[in-house]
Each structure stands twice: as C-alpha cells, then as structure tokens.
Amino acid sequence: MAKRGYTQDTIRGGASEWDISRPFSSYLKLLGRLLVHPIRFFELLPKVPDPRAPSLFLVFSSLLAALVWFFAGGFYPALAALLLPLPLSLALAGAYQLAAWGGRYGYAIVWRVLAYPFGYLLPLTTIPGLRWVATVYAGVVLLAVGLAVVKEITFGRAFLSCLVVTGLLLFAVYPALPG
C-alpha cells in the first residue's frame, strides 16, 4: 500500500489529490468523489502550494480532451485542447482569486481548487449543449463550494463571485464555439 501524504519525495497528496501512479483509476475515483461529495473533496484537498499533482492532472485531462476533440472537431481544436488548459487555468485562477478576495489562502490554493473541476470539464466541452451545462456546474457550483470550503468564506459570497466570473467567460466564449 502506498503511503499517503505530502513529502519531498512524492507528488501523491491526500485523498482528494490525483495519483500519477494510477492515472485512469485515480481520475475516475476523483471524478466520482467530486461529483457526489464536493464538500468532502475540497475539505480533503491539500492546502499546500505544490503545483505538481494538479499540473499533471491538467496535462492528463488535456490529453483526454485533445483525443476527444480530434475525433469530434479535427486537428486544430485538438491542438487547442492540448496546449491551452494549463495556461488558461492559471489565468482563470487569477480571476477567481480577485473575485473571491480575502479568505484564508492565496492564489496557489485557488488554482488547486480550480484545477480539478476544470480538468473534468475539458472532455465535456466536445458535446454541444452539455458543454454549457457542465461549464456552469463546474464554474459556478463546484468552484463556489471549493472556494467557500478552502478559502473559508461564505458560500453566498463564493457563489456570487463564481457566477460573475463564469458568466463573463461564457459571454466571451459563446460566439467562438458552435452548439
């Protein structure tokens, strides 16, 4: 049995951290935990500024999304799905950090909160209609729960800040995506 917890020698974190040694099973396990028990997921998320596990999770999710986009939309959407998620997540974390200013932790932890819902959202963006519902769920509900739990701010404040940021993003991206 692998030792759980953060040390200098491992990138495995707590129960809500993606495990690189078991990428597919860990991906599905965390997806189930995030969808069924989001509060518990974010309570167990390590509050350390180590970017390795969330970064590798986004890279893994980008590969899955690129594969799906390649068959659904062609080469250029697949290339965008492969190259944009990690830098986009860093920019989005800045927007969510500013919108939910205050609280206990800073930008690095907000980015960790954003990385997991954003990673699960990536493959779903290929499905017309579902992409908008999934984006609102991940960007407003899951991130609001995550920000409220991790930053220790009220849910109403986290919900309002996520609603504003996600709404602005949807209005900016809506004309660019078909369906």
Tens of pLDDT, residues 21-52: 788 888 888 888 888 899 999 998 888 888 88
Select the more confidently predicted residue: 19 or 30: 30
Nearest C-alpha neighbor of 27 from the set 68, 56, 6: 56
Residue 4 pLDDT level (bands cut at 50, 70, 90): low
φ/ψ of 119, rounded to 5, equals -65, -40
Are the C-beta atoms of residues 62 and 122 closer than 8 Å to each other?
A: yes
Q: What is the mean pLDDT of residues 76-80?
A: 93
Q: What pTM, to 2 d.p., does this model score?
A: 0.81
Tell me the angle at which helices 155-173 and 85-99 cross, rounded to the nearest 10 degrees: 130
pLDDT score recorded for residue 54: 87
pLDDT score recorded for residue 9: 43
Indicate if the pLDDT at residue 147 is higher than 80.
yes
Half-sphere exposure of 101 (CA within 13 A, CB side): 2
pLDDT score recorded for residue 20: 75
pLDDT one-digit tens code per residue, 122-132: 988 888 888 88
Q: Please, what is the average pLDDT of the chain?
A: 85
Half-sphere exposure of 168 (CA within 13 A, CB side): 9
Range in 4-13, 91-100, 159-168 the model is least confident about? 4-13
